[in-house]
Structure 1
């Protein structure tokens, strides 16, 4: 067995989970599970939201160490579920390292949802949130327009390598300006509820959840790091919406 490839495969699995928004304890468990299944000794891992450290020993005691820097994290729960299931199939189906590596490559290559579907989902989500917050019918319909524009704005800002604070600030700004424009055109007499429903698309729900779960697992470093990430995101949203209301003459 190629021990180098075994370690590389375990690292690859952990990287997929972390970059897809998974919890750090899940990354550590998955990598340890894979290394142990292929006979590696003293498998140890230390994971933070920005890096993976992996160490193990082969049968003759030679130490193998790996480090991988994580620079971008998105949200793809399906990838997390697929890698999670794959790690548990190794023992059940006696999969070889090559088979696992090929399966991981297929997971990485799996295409994301097309842009039109993302925009449609964002429109329906913003509309639904505005309805939940008891917006009036013009606000509900207006949020269906604002939602996709906010998503496009954030995607564009991310493509221009803006930091997360600015990405969400621009998203919040667009949410308010769209509402203000619709009010100026006479579409709606008020737009505050529409703004609330639209910026719900930007709220870092998974980041907050992972911060809580990592903390409850005893991984305080990752928990605090993710909590700070959520705080930066929320600050960006607040700053952007405040600037929008300022430009719209509301405040």
Structure 2
């Protein structure tokens, strides 16, 4: 990194930080604030950033070309968001240099360990059980939500990995949730079909996108706010349509 133009390196650091934040579920206000702080602390003048959920463009004074990055995959990994914020604060307090910040951001991008499939499914199962009890007060049938929620979340992760189509995975997983919930009820193992479905679909509900959409709209970002809201609405429609189909033809 020693041969890098410091101004260009600062732009790349800001761009990479913004990319990591958007890809891992940060709202746009946080993204813009982090990018502009990095640019300011690096001594970039007239720094400008255009951020959307699908791409970022940055430019600065005395730099001949703007820098851009295409964002195609988005998921929720708040550990990476927290790590990027920590690196940004360390650079602001002069604990690390510009080159060290760039290298650390690259390590966050490539080297942050992912939770195992088993851990994610277990977390989904616990979430299904807990929220079923919280929302419905039904403790007796909560074991069914635990099993159905965890197993169907595994199916969602598999379909997402296999076909790279998020909405298809949510639709098919919700179909299976409805089928299994009806099956356990008809076999007499459980008594409240609605409560089981409510608990089991909770890991698929787009809570973070809805929250970020609201925060983006409140902060005046009229591009990313409606885009994220539409993304959350499509997810909710995929889940809802699947459950309606199962209940209609069961």
Fold shared, TM-score > 0.5 on shorter chain:
yes
Structure 1 residue aligned with 2:93: 92
- Is the CA contact (8 Å cut-off) linking 1:153 and 1:174 kept in structure 2? no
**Structure 2: runs of 5 or more not aligned:** none
Deviation, 1:94, is 4.5
Structure 2 residue aligned with 1:55: 59
Structure 2 residue aligned with 1:77: 78
Deviation, 1:242, is 1.4
SS state of the match for residue 220, structure 1? coil
* Partner deviation per Cα, 1:118-171 (whole Å, 9 max, x = no partner): 111111110111112335444211001011122112112211235332221112
Are residues 223 and 86 of structure 1, via their aligned partners in 2, closer, same or farther at CA, if it must alter by over 3 Å?
same
Distance 2:47 2:104 in 1: 22
- State yes or no: 1:19 paired with 2:52: no
- Is the CA contact (8 Å cut-off) linking 2:8 and 2:63 kept in structure 1? no
- State yes or no: 1:46 paired with 2:50: yes
Structure 2 residue aligned with 1:203: 205
Distance 2:33 2:60 in 1: 14
- State yes or no: 1:215 paired with 2:210: no
- Is the CA contact (8 Å cut-off) linking 2:55 and 2:70 kept in structure 1? yes
Structure 2 residue aligned with 1:181: 183
**Structure 1: runs of 5 or more not aligned:** none
Distance 2:29 2:57 in 1: 13
Are residues 136 and 88 of structure 1, via their aligned partners in 2, closer, same or farther at CA, if it must alter by over 3 Å?
closer
* Partner deviation per Cα, 1:200-227 (whole Å, 9 max, x = no partner): 1111111111011111111111111111
SS state of the match for residue 232, structure 2? helix
Distance 2:161 2:70 in 1: 20
SS state of the match for residue 68, structure 2? strand
Structure 2 residue aligned with 1:4: 8
Distance 1:29 1:211 in 2: 17
Distance 1:228 1:56 in 2: 32
- Is the CA contact (8 Å cut-off) linking 1:138 and 1:187 kept in structure 2? no
- Is the CA contact (8 Å cut-off) linking 1:135 and 1:194 kept in structure 2? no
- Is the CA contact (8 Å cut-off) linking 1:13 and 1:30 kept in structure 2? yes
Cα RMSD between the aligned structures? 1.6
* Partner deviation per Cα, 1:151-199 (whole Å, 9 max, x = no partner): 1121122112353322211121111111122123321133211001111
Equivalent residue pairs, number: 245
Structure 1 residue aligned with 2:41: 37
Map 1:25-174; keep pairs closer than 5 Å.
Answer: 25-57=29-61, 61-108=62-109, 109-134=111-136, 136-174=138-176
* Partner deviation per Cα, 1:73-131 (whole Å, 9 max, x = no partner): 00011111111122122121252121101211222211012222211111111011111
Distance 2:28 2:138 in 1: 42
Are residues 137 and 91 of structure 1, via their aligned partners in 2, closer, same or farther at CA, if it must alter by over 3 Å?
closer
